[in-house]
Amino acid sequence: MRTVITFGTFDVFHIGHLNILKRARSLGDRLIVGVSTDALNYKKKGRYPIYKEEDRLAILSGLSCVNGIFREESLEWKGQYIREHKADVLVMGDDWSGKFDCYRDLCEVVYLKRTADISTTEILAGIRAAS
């Protein structure tokens, strides 16, 4: 059983999120997703996500490519989460390229190319501009 783990906020769920999750799942037998909490997002970005934590968790757990979810409460605990979930592969988008190489002693680290021309930030900017 090869376990893949990935992390993210997945706010205002979009096609880029679905693409990376499906590709991550295809690298193993099960995919576990660490969903960053509202509190962690506030700490990181100074604002809360549009979709609340429970809803972001519910959307992810409803996807057929996702086998398990948990709350990512601290950016510093990735090593612990990798161990806890016995992950063989850590997948991140290539916006994080090189940033998680420190976990290569715990598991394989793979950076997947982001889907072009879409992000939560751009969606929100588009909505604001249109209103």
Contacting residues toward ligand CTP, per CB under 6 A: 8-10, 16-17, 20, 92-93, 95, 114-115, 118-121
Which residues, in sequence order, are CB contacts of 91 under 8 Å at separation 6+? Answer: 4, 5, 6, 20, 23, 24, 27, 110, 111, 112
Among 91, 80, 74, smallest CA distance to 2 is for: 91
Is 86 a known active-site residue? no
Cβ proximity to ligand CTP: between 85 and 114 the closer is 114
Catalytic residue among 43, 44, 86, 99: 44
CB of 13 to ligand CTP, least distance (A): 9
Which residues, in sequence order, are CB contacts of 62 under 8 Å at separation 6+? Answer: none
CB of 22 to ligand CTP, least distance (A): 11
* Residue nearest ligand CTP by beta-carbon distance: 93
Give the residue numbers annotated as catalytic, written as ranges: 44-45
